[in-house]
Amino acid sequence: MIKLIRYIVLMTCLLTCANKNFAQEVKGFELSVNKDTILIGDHITLSVKYKFNPYLIASFPQLKDTVVPGVELVRELPIDTVRNQNIISEYVKKYIITSFDSGHYFIMFPIVVENPDNIDNYDTIMSNIVQFHVNTIPVDTLTYKMYDIKNPIMYPLTLQEILFRIFMITIGIILIIAAVILYRRWKNKQPLFGKAKPKIPPHIIAFKELSVVRTEKLWQQGKVKLYYTRITDIIRKYIEGRFSIPAMEKTSDEILADIKKGKIDEMYSFDKLREMFYTSDLVKFAKYQPAPDENEESFKTAFEFVTNTQPKEEEDENKTSIAEEEIKEETNA
Protein backbone atom coordinates (compact mmCIF):
# COMPACT_ATOMS: atom_id res chain seq x y z
CA MET A 1 0.00 0.00 0.00
CA ILE A 2 2.86 2.38 0.81
CA LYS A 3 4.41 1.74 -2.62
CA LEU A 4 1.12 2.56 -4.34
CA ILE A 5 0.77 5.84 -2.45
CA ARG A 6 4.37 6.82 -3.24
CA TYR A 7 3.94 6.25 -6.99
CA ILE A 8 0.58 8.02 -7.10
CA VAL A 9 2.05 11.09 -5.39
CA LEU A 10 5.01 11.13 -7.79
CA MET A 11 2.74 10.77 -10.80
CA THR A 12 0.48 13.57 -9.59
CA CYS A 13 3.41 15.96 -9.14
CA LEU A 14 4.79 15.27 -12.58
CA LEU A 15 1.43 15.53 -14.29
CA THR A 16 0.77 18.82 -12.51
CA CYS A 17 4.06 20.31 -13.69
CA ALA A 18 3.66 19.06 -17.29
CA ASN A 19 2.14 21.13 -20.05
CA LYS A 20 -1.44 19.83 -20.45
CA ASN A 21 -1.84 20.61 -24.13
CA PHE A 22 1.52 19.05 -24.97
CA ALA A 23 0.83 15.96 -22.87
CA GLN A 24 -2.53 15.34 -24.46
CA GLU A 25 -0.81 14.78 -27.77
CA VAL A 26 1.14 11.77 -26.43
CA LYS A 27 -1.68 9.65 -25.14
CA GLY A 28 -0.42 6.95 -27.48
CA PHE A 29 1.87 5.48 -24.79
CA GLU A 30 0.57 2.32 -23.13
CA LEU A 31 2.29 0.24 -20.44
CA SER A 32 1.16 -3.40 -19.92
CA VAL A 33 2.22 -6.77 -18.48
CA ASN A 34 1.35 -10.21 -19.83
CA LYS A 35 0.59 -11.62 -16.33
CA ASP A 36 -0.92 -10.13 -13.22
CA THR A 37 0.21 -12.93 -10.87
CA ILE A 38 3.49 -14.89 -10.82
CA LEU A 39 5.51 -17.07 -8.47
CA ILE A 40 8.81 -15.90 -7.00
CA GLY A 41 11.52 -16.07 -9.67
CA ASP A 42 9.15 -16.40 -12.63
CA HIS A 43 9.57 -14.08 -15.62
CA ILE A 44 7.00 -11.56 -16.76
CA THR A 45 6.98 -9.43 -19.93
CA LEU A 46 6.59 -5.67 -19.53
CA SER A 47 5.55 -3.99 -22.81
CA VAL A 48 5.61 -0.31 -23.78
CA LYS A 49 3.53 0.61 -26.84
CA TYR A 50 3.81 3.95 -28.58
CA LYS A 51 1.52 5.07 -31.38
CA PHE A 52 3.51 6.74 -34.12
CA ASN A 53 3.20 10.55 -34.16
CA PRO A 54 5.22 12.44 -36.81
CA TYR A 55 4.99 15.67 -34.81
CA LEU A 56 6.54 14.30 -31.63
CA ILE A 57 9.70 12.36 -30.67
CA ALA A 58 9.40 10.13 -27.64
CA SER A 59 12.15 8.14 -25.87
CA PHE A 60 11.58 4.66 -24.54
CA PRO A 61 12.54 4.12 -20.89
CA GLN A 62 16.18 3.17 -20.22
CA LEU A 63 15.82 0.57 -17.47
CA LYS A 64 18.66 -0.42 -15.16
CA ASP A 65 19.14 -3.65 -13.20
CA THR A 66 16.42 -2.63 -10.75
CA VAL A 67 13.16 -1.50 -12.37
CA VAL A 68 11.48 -0.63 -9.06
CA PRO A 69 12.44 -1.81 -5.57
CA GLY A 70 11.89 -5.61 -5.55
CA VAL A 71 11.63 -5.95 -9.35
CA GLU A 72 14.74 -6.72 -11.43
CA LEU A 73 15.44 -6.48 -15.15
CA VAL A 74 16.38 -9.82 -16.77
CA ARG A 75 16.93 -8.62 -20.34
CA GLU A 76 15.78 -5.98 -22.78
CA LEU A 77 14.33 -6.92 -26.18
CA PRO A 78 14.81 -4.86 -29.37
CA ILE A 79 12.11 -2.45 -30.54
CA ASP A 80 9.43 -4.03 -32.70
CA THR A 81 7.09 -2.24 -35.11
CA VAL A 82 3.43 -2.70 -36.07
CA ARG A 83 2.53 -1.75 -39.63
CA ASN A 84 -0.83 -0.81 -41.08
CA GLN A 85 -0.96 -0.72 -44.90
CA ASN A 86 2.84 -0.78 -44.96
CA ILE A 87 3.01 2.30 -42.74
CA ILE A 88 4.41 2.17 -39.23
CA SER A 89 1.53 2.75 -36.88
CA GLU A 90 2.99 1.59 -33.57
CA TYR A 91 6.33 0.88 -31.82
CA VAL A 92 6.58 -1.89 -29.19
CA LYS A 93 9.39 -2.18 -26.64
CA LYS A 94 9.48 -5.24 -24.34
CA TYR A 95 11.38 -5.91 -21.12
CA ILE A 96 11.69 -9.27 -19.35
CA ILE A 97 11.49 -8.70 -15.58
CA THR A 98 11.28 -10.85 -12.44
CA SER A 99 11.01 -10.59 -8.67
CA PHE A 100 12.37 -12.63 -5.78
CA ASP A 101 10.28 -10.96 -3.07
CA SER A 102 6.62 -11.71 -2.62
CA GLY A 103 4.20 -8.78 -2.67
CA HIS A 104 2.19 -6.42 -4.87
CA TYR A 105 4.14 -4.20 -7.26
CA PHE A 106 3.28 -1.08 -9.29
CA ILE A 107 5.26 0.15 -12.28
CA MET A 108 5.06 3.39 -14.25
CA PHE A 109 7.65 5.31 -16.29
CA PRO A 110 8.52 8.94 -16.91
CA ILE A 111 8.45 9.57 -20.69
CA VAL A 112 10.38 12.42 -22.33
CA VAL A 113 8.63 13.89 -25.40
CA GLU A 114 10.26 16.39 -27.77
CA ASN A 115 9.00 18.48 -30.67
CA PRO A 116 11.24 17.92 -33.73
CA ASP A 117 10.55 21.47 -34.97
CA ASN A 118 11.60 22.96 -31.65
CA ILE A 119 14.26 21.02 -29.73
CA ASP A 120 13.94 23.23 -26.67
CA ASN A 121 10.24 22.41 -26.44
CA TYR A 122 10.16 19.11 -24.55
CA ASP A 123 8.14 17.72 -21.68
CA THR A 124 8.11 14.78 -19.27
CA ILE A 125 4.93 12.87 -18.56
CA MET A 126 4.18 9.70 -16.66
CA SER A 127 2.89 6.53 -18.24
CA ASN A 128 -0.10 4.58 -17.00
CA ILE A 129 0.36 2.32 -13.96
CA VAL A 130 0.57 -1.46 -14.25
CA GLN A 131 0.51 -3.81 -11.32
CA PHE A 132 1.14 -7.48 -10.63
CA HIS A 133 1.38 -9.75 -7.63
CA VAL A 134 4.21 -12.10 -6.68
CA ASN A 135 3.25 -15.18 -4.66
CA THR A 136 5.40 -17.56 -2.68
CA ILE A 137 5.20 -21.32 -3.06
CA PRO A 138 2.63 -22.55 -0.57
CA VAL A 139 3.78 -25.08 2.01
CA ASP A 140 1.37 -27.35 3.81
CA THR A 141 2.67 -27.20 7.37
CA LEU A 142 0.24 -29.88 8.52
CA THR A 143 1.44 -32.66 6.22
CA TYR A 144 4.99 -31.42 5.54
CA LYS A 145 7.63 -33.48 7.27
CA MET A 146 11.09 -32.12 8.01
CA TYR A 147 14.11 -34.33 7.23
CA ASP A 148 17.64 -33.99 8.51
CA ILE A 149 20.48 -33.27 6.08
CA LYS A 150 21.83 -36.51 4.66
CA ASN A 151 25.49 -37.39 4.99
CA PRO A 152 27.57 -37.61 1.80
CA ILE A 153 27.21 -40.94 0.07
CA MET A 154 30.53 -42.81 -0.06
CA TYR A 155 30.93 -44.80 -3.25
CA PRO A 156 33.69 -47.44 -3.57
CA LEU A 157 36.76 -46.38 -5.53
CA THR A 158 36.94 -47.58 -9.10
CA LEU A 159 40.04 -49.15 -10.60
CA GLN A 160 40.64 -46.03 -12.67
CA GLU A 161 40.57 -43.83 -9.56
CA ILE A 162 42.96 -46.17 -7.70
CA LEU A 163 45.43 -46.19 -10.60
CA PHE A 164 45.26 -42.40 -10.89
CA ARG A 165 46.04 -41.97 -7.19
CA ILE A 166 48.95 -44.41 -7.39
CA PHE A 167 50.25 -42.51 -10.42
CA MET A 168 50.03 -39.14 -8.65
CA ILE A 169 51.77 -40.50 -5.51
CA THR A 170 54.55 -41.99 -7.66
CA ILE A 171 55.03 -38.70 -9.51
CA GLY A 172 55.18 -36.87 -6.17
CA ILE A 173 57.85 -39.23 -4.79
CA ILE A 174 59.92 -38.89 -7.97
CA LEU A 175 59.74 -35.09 -7.82
CA ILE A 176 60.82 -35.06 -4.16
CA ILE A 177 63.78 -37.38 -4.85
CA ALA A 178 64.81 -35.28 -7.86
CA ALA A 179 64.61 -32.09 -5.81
CA VAL A 180 66.82 -33.58 -3.06
CA ILE A 181 69.40 -34.80 -5.60
CA LEU A 182 69.50 -31.45 -7.40
CA TYR A 183 69.86 -29.59 -4.09
CA ARG A 184 72.78 -31.76 -2.99
CA ARG A 185 74.52 -31.35 -6.36
CA TRP A 186 74.00 -27.59 -6.19
CA LYS A 187 75.28 -27.47 -2.61
CA ASN A 188 78.39 -29.46 -3.56
CA LYS A 189 78.92 -27.18 -6.59
CA GLN A 190 78.41 -30.04 -9.01
CA PRO A 191 76.62 -29.77 -12.38
CA LEU A 192 72.88 -30.21 -11.94
CA PHE A 193 72.61 -32.52 -14.94
CA GLY A 194 75.04 -35.07 -16.27
CA LYS A 195 78.01 -36.67 -14.59
CA ALA A 196 80.21 -34.56 -12.38
CA LYS A 197 83.77 -34.15 -13.56
CA PRO A 198 86.24 -36.00 -11.33
CA LYS A 199 87.83 -33.61 -8.89
CA ILE A 200 91.54 -33.17 -9.48
CA PRO A 201 93.54 -33.70 -6.25
CA PRO A 202 95.23 -30.55 -4.89
CA HIS A 203 98.74 -32.00 -5.21
CA ILE A 204 98.22 -32.78 -8.91
CA ILE A 205 97.14 -29.18 -9.51
CA ALA A 206 100.13 -27.90 -7.54
CA PHE A 207 102.59 -30.04 -9.53
CA LYS A 208 101.15 -28.85 -12.86
CA GLU A 209 101.25 -25.20 -11.84
CA LEU A 210 104.83 -25.54 -10.52
CA SER A 211 105.78 -27.11 -13.85
CA VAL A 212 104.38 -24.07 -15.66
CA VAL A 213 106.32 -21.71 -13.38
CA ARG A 214 109.50 -23.66 -14.09
CA THR A 215 109.08 -23.38 -17.85
CA GLU A 216 108.24 -19.64 -17.71
CA LYS A 217 111.70 -18.79 -16.23
CA LEU A 218 110.37 -15.67 -14.55
CA TRP A 219 113.25 -14.82 -12.24
CA GLN A 220 115.73 -15.30 -15.07
CA GLN A 221 113.83 -12.51 -16.90
CA GLY A 222 114.02 -10.17 -13.91
CA LYS A 223 110.41 -10.85 -12.80
CA VAL A 224 111.44 -11.90 -9.32
CA LYS A 225 108.37 -10.50 -7.54
CA LEU A 226 105.99 -12.29 -9.92
CA TYR A 227 108.03 -15.47 -9.54
CA TYR A 228 107.64 -15.56 -5.74
CA THR A 229 104.01 -14.49 -5.93
CA ARG A 230 103.23 -17.43 -8.21
CA ILE A 231 105.08 -19.95 -6.03
CA THR A 232 103.52 -18.84 -2.73
CA ASP A 233 100.02 -18.70 -4.31
CA ILE A 234 100.43 -22.28 -5.54
CA ILE A 235 101.42 -23.42 -2.02
CA ARG A 236 98.56 -21.43 -0.45
CA LYS A 237 96.00 -23.07 -2.78
CA TYR A 238 97.52 -26.48 -2.08
CA ILE A 239 97.33 -25.98 1.70
CA GLU A 240 93.74 -24.81 1.39
CA GLY A 241 92.67 -27.77 -0.76
CA ARG A 242 94.74 -30.41 1.07
CA PHE A 243 94.29 -29.37 4.71
CA SER A 244 91.15 -27.14 4.53
CA ILE A 245 93.07 -24.16 5.87
CA PRO A 246 91.91 -20.81 4.36
CA ALA A 247 95.48 -19.94 3.40
CA MET A 248 94.53 -17.47 0.65
CA GLU A 249 93.03 -15.14 3.26
CA LYS A 250 95.88 -15.32 5.81
CA THR A 251 99.34 -13.88 6.22
CA SER A 252 102.50 -15.96 6.08
CA ASP A 253 102.80 -16.01 9.90
CA GLU A 254 99.17 -17.14 10.28
CA ILE A 255 99.68 -19.94 7.75
CA LEU A 256 102.82 -21.13 9.50
CA ALA A 257 101.01 -21.06 12.85
CA ASP A 258 98.18 -23.21 11.43
CA ILE A 259 100.72 -25.64 10.01
CA LYS A 260 102.33 -25.95 13.46
CA LYS A 261 98.93 -26.35 15.08
CA GLY A 262 97.85 -29.06 12.64
CA LYS A 263 101.17 -30.89 13.02
CA ILE A 264 101.70 -30.62 9.28
CA ASP A 265 105.29 -29.63 9.96
CA GLU A 266 105.97 -33.25 10.95
CA MET A 267 105.64 -34.20 7.26
CA TYR A 268 108.21 -31.69 6.04
CA SER A 269 110.93 -29.38 7.32
CA PHE A 270 109.14 -26.47 8.93
CA ASP A 271 112.24 -24.28 8.80
CA LYS A 272 112.58 -24.56 5.03
CA LEU A 273 108.91 -23.66 4.47
CA ARG A 274 109.19 -20.70 6.83
CA GLU A 275 112.34 -19.48 5.04
CA MET A 276 110.55 -19.67 1.67
CA PHE A 277 107.59 -17.58 2.95
CA TYR A 278 109.87 -15.01 4.59
CA THR A 279 112.00 -14.66 1.44
CA SER A 280 108.80 -14.17 -0.57
CA ASP A 281 107.56 -11.46 1.81
CA LEU A 282 110.92 -9.64 1.57
CA VAL A 283 110.78 -9.71 -2.21
CA LYS A 284 107.14 -8.54 -2.44
CA PHE A 285 107.16 -5.90 0.31
CA ALA A 286 110.82 -4.88 0.86
CA LYS A 287 112.10 -5.05 -2.74
CA TYR A 288 114.66 -7.67 -1.73
CA GLN A 289 116.75 -9.15 -4.56
CA PRO A 290 117.62 -12.77 -3.72
CA ALA A 291 120.52 -14.63 -5.28
CA PRO A 292 119.88 -17.23 -8.02
CA ASP A 293 120.60 -20.02 -5.53
CA GLU A 294 117.86 -18.67 -3.22
CA ASN A 295 115.40 -18.62 -6.13
CA GLU A 296 116.15 -22.23 -6.98
CA GLU A 297 115.98 -23.23 -3.31
CA SER A 298 112.56 -21.61 -2.87
CA PHE A 299 111.20 -23.52 -5.85
CA LYS A 300 112.70 -26.79 -4.57
CA THR A 301 111.17 -26.14 -1.13
CA ALA A 302 107.72 -25.66 -2.63
CA PHE A 303 108.05 -28.84 -4.72
CA GLU A 304 109.31 -30.93 -1.80
CA PHE A 305 106.54 -29.64 0.50
CA VAL A 306 103.85 -30.84 -1.94
CA THR A 307 105.67 -34.14 -2.50
CA ASN A 308 106.05 -34.96 1.21
CA THR A 309 102.54 -33.87 2.28
CA GLN A 310 100.48 -35.41 -0.52
CA PRO A 311 98.14 -38.30 0.46
CA LYS A 312 100.07 -41.48 1.27
CA GLU A 313 97.88 -43.71 -0.91
CA GLU A 314 98.93 -41.71 -3.93
CA GLU A 315 102.56 -42.49 -3.22
CA ASP A 316 101.89 -46.14 -2.47
CA GLU A 317 100.07 -46.68 -5.76
CA ASN A 318 102.68 -44.73 -7.73
CA LYS A 319 100.11 -42.20 -9.02
CA THR A 320 102.66 -39.46 -9.43
CA SER A 321 101.58 -37.06 -12.17
CA ILE A 322 103.48 -36.34 -15.35
CA ALA A 323 104.01 -32.78 -14.14
CA GLU A 324 105.76 -34.12 -11.02
CA GLU A 325 108.08 -36.25 -13.12
CA GLU A 326 108.96 -33.28 -15.30
CA ILE A 327 109.77 -31.15 -12.26
CA LYS A 328 111.91 -33.93 -10.78
CA GLU A 329 113.93 -34.21 -13.97
CA GLU A 330 114.47 -30.44 -14.18
CA THR A 331 115.32 -30.24 -10.48
CA ASN A 332 117.88 -33.04 -10.69
CA ALA A 333 119.36 -31.44 -13.78
Q: Where are the domains of the chain?
A: 2-135, 153-198, 202-332
pLDDT at 327: 52
Phi-psi region of 244 (alpha: psi -120 to 50; beta: other; left: phi over 0): left
The HSE-up count of residue 182 (CA atoms within 13 Å, CB side) is: 8
pLDDT at 55: 62
Residues 6+ apart with CB under 8 A from 124: 14, 18, 110, 111, 112, 113
User: Which string of b and e fits 40-52 if b means at least 16 CB within 10 Å?
Assistant: eeeebebbbbbeb
Residues 6+ apart with CB under 8 A from 245: 239, 255, 258, 259, 262
Residues 113, 123: contact at Cβ < 8 Å? yes
pLDDT in tens, the chain (333 residues): 555 555 555 555 544 444 444 444 445 678 889 989 999 989 999 988 877 666 666 677 778 888 889 899 998 888 887 777 666 677 888 899 999 988 999 988 777 776 656 656 666 777 788 999 999 877 776 777 777 888 888 888 889 999 999 999 999 999 999 999 888 888 877 776 766 667 788 889 999 999 998 898 888 898 999 999 999 999 999 988 888 888 888 888 888 888 878 777 667 777 888 888 899 989 888 888 889 898 899 999 889 888 888 887 644 444 445 445 555 555 554
Instruction: Enter the pTM of the model.
Output: 0.42
CATH number of 2-135: 2.60.40.740
Cα 248 versus chain centre, distance: 42
pLDDT at 11: 52
Which ranges of 194-321 would DSSP assign to H, the alpha helix? 202-216, 224-243, 252-261, 270-286, 292-309, 312-316
Distance CA 293, CA 316 (A): 32
Residues 109, 61: contact at Cβ < 8 Å? yes
